[in-house]
């Protein structure tokens, strides 16, 4: 079922976390915080919305890395009900697509709850002080192939955050599959 993320709550502090990465390391928010900003994104392995944007997401992660913004992906879905989202399958996806960001497993879903994550993908863009400045979509294409003149919402917003510390007032909500909560 398609859902949209809530609007940006400007200035909200990023909740801390320490989660296991697909490379077996434990990663905290402090470990990955970028000097000019940080994007915490909730994704998963099976969502058609995530799979449709995955190549563009990887490209945008590399673009943002060049300006001192770090991205981290978190999978919080219930892997019992959705085995495609198991830790082992997360590892396969990260290797297959050569993720340029850490892919973390939120086994108990506490981090998704702390962030009030709603869907996959769900993007939280923070400034250098880890204050929320962006909660919108990756780009205007969504499930469709990218046009050559594609508006890159996340990249544009985070460039503004890197330059000014503030995100754009006007943001388009992200849409995707709901987080698969445990019973």
User: How far is CA 148 from each of CA 69, 103, 145, 152, rounded to the nearest angstrom?
Assistant: 24, 28, 10, 11
Whether 32 is covered by a domain: the verdict is yes
pLDDT of residue 1: 57
Instruction: Evaluate whether residue 183 is within a structural domain.
Output: no
Task: Name 127's Cβ contacts closer than 8 Å, sequence gap at least 6.
Answer: 37, 133, 161, 165, 166, 167
Pairing of strands 122-126, 132-134: antiparallel
Per-residue burial over 95-113, b if 16 or more Cβ lie within 10 Å, else e, is eeeebebbbbbbeebebbe
**What is the predicted pLDDT for the residue at 7?**
79
Q: Is residue 155 part of a domain?
A: yes
Range of the domain at 27: 2-178
pLDDT of residue 123: 98
Helices (H), 36-176: 48-65, 87-96, 110-115, 153-164
138 vs 130: CA distance, rounded Å: 19
The answer to whether residue 172 sits within a structural domain is yes
Q: How far apart are CA 19 and CA 27, in angstroms?
A: 5
Q: What is the reported pTM?
A: 0.96
Q: What are the residue ranges in the chain where pLDDT is below 70?
A: 1-3
Q: What is the mean pLDDT of the chain?
A: 95
- The domain that holds 62 is classified in CATH as 3.40.30.10
Cα 16 from Cα 13, distance rounded (Å):
9
pLDDT of residue 27: 98
Number of structural domains the chain divides into:
1
Task: Tell me the pLDDT tens digit for each residue of 30-68.
Answer: 999 999 999 999 999 999 999 999 999 999 999 999 999
């Amino acid at each position: 079922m398609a859902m949209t993320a809530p609007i940006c709550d400007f200035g909200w502090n990023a909740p801390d976390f320490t989660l296991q990465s697909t490379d077996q390391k434990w990663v905290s928010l402090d470990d990955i915080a970028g000097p000019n900003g940080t994007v915490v994104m909730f994704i998963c392995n099976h969502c058609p919305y995530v799979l449709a944007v995955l190549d563009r997401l990887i490209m945008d992660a590399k673009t943002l890395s060049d300006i001192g913004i770090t991205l981290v992906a978190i999978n919080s879905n219930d892997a019992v009900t959705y085995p495609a989202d198991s830790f082992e399958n997360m590892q396969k996806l990260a290797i297959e697509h050569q993720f340029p960001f850490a892919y973390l497993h939120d086994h108990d879903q506490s981090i998704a709850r702390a962030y009030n994550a709603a869907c996959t993908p769900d993007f939280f863009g923070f400034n250098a002080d880890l204050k929320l400045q962006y909660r919108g979509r990756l780009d205007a294409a969504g499930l469709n192939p990218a046009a050559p003149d594609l508006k890159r919402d996340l990249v544009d917003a985070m460039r503004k955050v890197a330059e000014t510390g503030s995100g754009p007032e006007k943001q388009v909500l992200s849409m995707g599959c709901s987080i698969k909560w445990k019973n």
